[in-house]
Structure 1
Amino acid sequence: LQGSPRVNTGLLLVGTLIASWVGTTGAAMLLIRPLIRANAWRIHKTHLIVFFIFLVANVGGSLTPLGDPPLFLGFLHGVDFFWTFNLFPHMALVAAILLVVFYGVDTYFYRKEPADAIEALQHEEEVPLSIVGYHNFLFLGGVIGFVLFSGMVDLETPIHLTSHLHVELQNIIRDVGLIAMGIAAYRTTSPDYRAENGFSWGPIAEVAYLFAGIFMTIVPALAILNAGSAGALAWLVEGVQTETHYFWVTGILSSFLDNAPTYLTFFNTALGSTGVEGGEAARLAALLAERESILVAISAGAVFMGANTYIGNAPNFMVKAIAEEAGVAMPSFFGYMVRWSIPILMPIFIIVTVVFF
């Protein structure tokens, strides 16, 4: 692959299309290194990684519960697997605008590259593309299968860890299965393949440490939100009434508190707003029958605006770490927001609001 605007736009399009089926993390890890290698000769590369985060690590995961953790949580709480296809018009609009903007930005920076480098690239001997480690697609299928299993099967056998804490058996089976798939893939794949692909544990460890800290420190904030009208942020929770409110409040909080727990908070808020007595299933049915657009707004806000910061969605920081390890200069936390996400994404989200909400 040669990193031209057409090739790069094609890679981002492919990543966006597969992210809903293999997960944003899966799509990002599959394509980030080929993108970096294709553009290794270029001087200006930061924008490639930023738009990759926008599209592949976030927006692309909108169509199924496999795509992004917030939608998977909705699936676990009774939302139909294919209901998320309601987000297709929203995703298509955002992705189309971002791809057009990216093509323009990449063309601009491509023309700023040294002429001799571009000329040399035209005469470089072509090396056929190849894929090794095909058997890992079986393990990837196993991962998808275990995830679907935990959402579609209720074994009604909770495992009590303490008097106040229990875990459903199907979730334990899922987690053990995911670990087994990972170990099997690692043990059955040649270390040479990982070395040739530039794999290292550094970015994974960095993200693990970061999000362990984030999840510990956001517990009080999420507890306040979950308290609803009885909490310190009652004014915020009670003020969220319309689709526009849900889209923006869910999205902005997802940018800083991680999008999965934020989605669940406002999912429960929306269920409570139905006024229906009974269990979660009855309230969800009422919400989908009377105000389905509310759940669309919550889902779109959580998934799309996870791209606003490095910590909005787990793949964001992992992509950043891999890019930096490969020598790509990446902006700081606030630099990413001020120079990229706010000026590019905010106008697009305003368009989404006007068109859909």
Structure 2
Amino acid sequence: MEKPANISSEVNVISYGNSSSNVSSTSVVLTDEILVSVGIVMLLENIISILLLSKCTRINFQIRILSLNLAVSDLFTGFVLAVPNTLLYEKFRCDIKKYAAFLFINVSLLIVSIMNLDRCFVFAYAMRYYSFITKKLMRKLCCFAWITGFPLTFGMFFGFDAKYGFSCELMAFHEMNAINSIFKGVLLCIVVVNFLMFGYLLYHSRKKLSRTYPQQKQPMPHQYSRMVRKLSVVTGVFLMAYFPFMMIMTFPILDKSSGIGKGIYSFTATMVLLNSACNPVFYVWRFSEPRYHVKRWFCFWNKRMREKIDRLHNQQYASYDIYTISTSV
């Protein structure tokens, strides 16, 4: 669809687009400057995460490869946001930024889903976990996530009237049809499956603690509440970010032409974007080894402090090794 040449420098937080003939100026809530700033922050976060993961050889391979793929997809999301939309529109005369941004957002969705599935396999297979969840399988699943991101993104914005199905319409006002409704429904189903896995993890966490403390009628409150908090923060934030937006995208339950509708739509889409900024904290920096390397980087100027950090870190792993050997004997 042809858009007017005199576009504004402001961008819609949902579509990353500019004012068009069918979008009032009141729908524009974020400027290029804000989105570029958020994109730069995400770039820096995920560059640090990738550097950390490359040094963290003690982290479980399954966790490491999934976290690395998540950091790469979020890195590209930040890069896309950092490119001014006005520059893209002047070159292509089309809102193509929605395709690039949601390609990597959808890949992140799939990677996090694989992470949750991996946690479920830990409970389901227990000691047989490493026999089923091999390094080769994890690499295949990561490749599957990246490849699947392309048809999912193409399908969710498919337009019958557009050339080859690639629509230039703003995402917030893209017309729904049978094809894009199906693909949006698939994405919503992926989010719902994560809700089910979240419940499964909470149930088996409680069950595991009950076996650990059989003398108690109820699991130890401190351990259980700590585990629930960790699961709720990591998985809960992800679900709260994606579920409202995918509901709005899949079903025509919101009048986006109204002020309230625009506000809700903008808020839910912003939550999806900010989730990518939270991922480095939840899936990389929360582990002790990445934090250890960060501390060493911050103390690069102080040799004595680095030696102290190294000593404390080695003692932590040495204590674990001694405990493992003694219990096995």
TM-score by length of 2: 0.27
Larger radius of gyration: 2
